[in-house]
Amino acid sequence: MPDSLHAITGFIGTLAEETLLTPDSIRSQATTVGLSSWGERLLTKTIVSLAKDLRLRGQLGRLRAAVLLGASLAGDRFVTTLERTGVLLAEVTMSRSLAVSWRSFMQMLQKLPTGTSYRNGCRVTKPMRG
């Protein structure tokens, strides 16, 4: 595993151990580990790839951390890319742990400082006036 991939994987693990994650705290910590120097496209591709793997392995805490990291650093472009991969789609029956993680994830998305809001996992944009 390349050093940069190892570093981001370790950082996601560290974030997964925290119970309260805010976009500001994530951005602050990301700067200290050197992720601020990554381009948005590389960051998005890397985190989406890791998120797919985490979902397949059932590591929901790390998946939550990866999604919040990507959304905090790359914004709407990351969320759109992640939605298109199907990583956020629920199975036919949702396990209890997934349901708890999903609710927590949706609460975190509501706190993101963008013009976009999320309702029931779907992006809802506000109509422009003028």
What confidence tens digit (pLDDT) does each residue in 5-36 have?
788 899 999 999 988 888 999 998 988 888 87
Residue 120 lies in a domain: no
What is the CA 52 to chain-centroid distance, rounded?
11
What is the CA 45 to chain-centroid distance, rounded?
12
Residue 30 lies in a domain: yes
What confidence tens digit (pLDDT) does each residue in 53-105 have?
999 898 999 999 999 999 999 988 999 999 999 888 876 666 777 778 888 88
Count of structural domains within the chain: 1
Residue 119 lies in a domain: no
Residue 45 lies in a domain: yes
CB 54 within 8 A of CB 9: no
